[in-house]
Amino acid sequence: MTQTSPTLIHDEPVMTDPDVHSAERRKLLLLAGIMAGGIGLSLMTGTFPVVAFCFAMAAVVMLHEAAHFAAAKWSGMKATEFFFGFGPRLWSVRKGETEYGIKAIPFGGYVKIIGMSNLERDIAPEDESRTYRQASYPKRMLVAMAGVATHFTMAFLLLVLLLTVVGVPNYDKPSLTVGSLSRLETGQSPATDAGFKVGDRILAVGGRAVANWDAVLPLVRESPERPLAFVVERDGQQVTLTATPARLERDGVTRGFIGVGPKPEIEKTNPIAASGEAIADIWDLSVGSLKALGSFFTPSALRDYAGELTNSTNNKPASADDQRFVSVVGVARIAGQAAESGIFNVVYLLVLLNIFIGVFNLVPLLPLDGGHVAIGTYERLRSRAGRRYQADVGKMMPIAAAVIIVLVLIGVSSIYLDIVKPVANPFQ
């Protein structure tokens, strides 16, 4: 007799393959619906730039893991899992020998390659030749470094895109176009009160035509508390605005202030020159990231960080923001601020994050990629006359556990600080 209902074993239903595929499709559709709803809500609330940046960062993370996965496959290793996120499984599908899917905690992703160390004992004998630990040194280094290389490659491509397509603002060459509106500490902004808008192009000040920004500044500074007529071009039409510069006293000198900042000229570079500049920038930013990592773990920096956490640091210096980690909460906030300031800062923020993640993963401690590079290199140096040496990773587990604890503490404390003491807007 043909049985169409699920087979019963110990009164528990067992789902057949079609049932499993149908259930996973429903889960995937539900996840897609939730994502679509979130995107729609972000569009209505004006937070879409932040959401879009989060999706971009998720893509960056998965490209890192995809690089490990592709390198492992190319090297003949067996990868059994490829997941975005950690924790409980939300959706998955098996293709060949690999299970692909999404998990509930969206803070990263992973690829499971069998035999990453001598601690794995439950590997089938027929799969031992396809383990990471049995691969040659060059292949293990290729797999370990693939993710880091992907970050630097993305940073390079984004920088070339900035230099050749978007263009780089040259603040030494300000234009007559209004690029920003600012206020005094008292909240006063004559430019805003007069009706200036970002994008206005100044044509004349006080009845005098101006050809560059250097001609605007003296006229404003010499007219504190005296109304000035500004002729600006807006949407193809000339508009006259009257602003009264505020009296500003600095270094014993009185001068006028209206709160208008110029938009810098945008300069683009040819692809060949851009490639050279991108490589130089990546080197400088990598060195800067390495120095920042080192400075954070100095006794004085850790003491200051603890002071911030315990609220014992009442007057935090502005430079303190440069010596602390920023969590996903802080990055999302900064991404929104970058979106408000223009596409250049959004792309450049992605460049900085890729470089920092790449440098951070090079730290020679497990579970970071640099830890696998260090172990593989140590094993290669200890091998003699064709006799391969294998490090006992079990002895390194206490250090790896300590690293994980430190990373979790930094992550949690950074989220706390980004909520109660957010870093200053870096684009103002």
Q: What is the pLDDT of residues 53-64, one digit of tens each?
A: 778 888 888 999
CA-based nearest residue to 352, from 420, 404, 426: 426
Element (H, E) at 145: helix 137-161
Q: Cα angle vertex 333, ends 330, 337, to 5°?
A: 135
Q: Is the dihedral of CA 371, 377, 382, 387 positive or negative?
A: positive
- The model's confidence at residue 6, banded by pLDDT at 50, 70 and 90, is very low
CATH class of segment(s) 170-267: mainly beta
> What is the C-alpha to C-alpha distance for residues 269 and 265, in angstroms, rounded to an integer?
13
Q: Which two tokens stand for residue 264?
A: 């810098």
- The model's confidence at residue 10, banded by pLDDT at 50, 70 and 90, is very low
What secondary structure letter does DSSP report for 396? G
Cα distance from N-terminal residue to C-terminal residue, the chain: 76
Give mean pLDDT, residues 57-86. Answer: 93
All structural domains of the chain with their residue ranges: 18-166, 170-267, 271-420
Does residue 124 register a pLDDT over 50? yes
CA distances from residue 153 to 26, 137, 150, 226, 345 in whole angstroms, order as listed: 36, 23, 5, 55, 19
Does residue 316 register a pLDDT over 70? no
Between 5 and 172, the higher pLDDT residue? 172
Q: CB under 8 Å to 424, separation ≥6 — which residues? A: 318, 321
Per-residue pLDDT at 318: 45
CA distances from residue 386 to 63, 242, 284, 289, 383 in whole angstroms, order as listed: 36, 84, 40, 39, 7
Q: What is the pLDDT of residues 234-243, one digit of tens each?
A: 998 999 999 9
Q: Which two tokens stand for residue 352?
A: 């900085």
Per-residue pLDDT at 16: 56
Between 19 and 393, the higher pLDDT residue? 393
Helix axes 271-296, 343-361, angle to 10 degrees: 60
Give mean pLDDT, residues 37-52. Answer: 75
> What is the C-alpha to C-alpha distance for residues 227 and 389, in angstroms, rounded to an integer?
82
Q: Is 77:113 a contact under the CB 8 Å cutoff?
A: yes
Q: What is the pLDDT of residues 242-284, one digit of tens each?
A: 999 888 887 678 888 888 888 888 888 999 999 999 999 999 9
Does residue 285 register a pLDDT over 90? yes
Question: What's the mean pLDDT when you consider all of the chain?
Answer: 84
Q: Which two tokens stand for residue 96?
A: 């060949």
- The model's confidence at residue 319, banded by pLDDT at 50, 70 and 90, is very low
> What is the C-alpha to C-alpha distance for residues 64 and 84, in angstroms, rounded to an integer?
11
Per-residue pLDDT at 12: 46
Per the DSSP assignment, residues forming a β-bridge with 229 are 242
Lowest mean pLDDT across 121-130, 187-196, 350-359: 187-196
CA distances from residue 89 to 24, 37, 44, 181 in whole angstroms, order as listed: 11, 21, 30, 48
- The model's confidence at residue 82, banded by pLDDT at 50, 70 and 90, is very high
Q: What is the pLDDT of residues 24-42, one digit of tens each?
A: 777 777 777 877 887 787 7
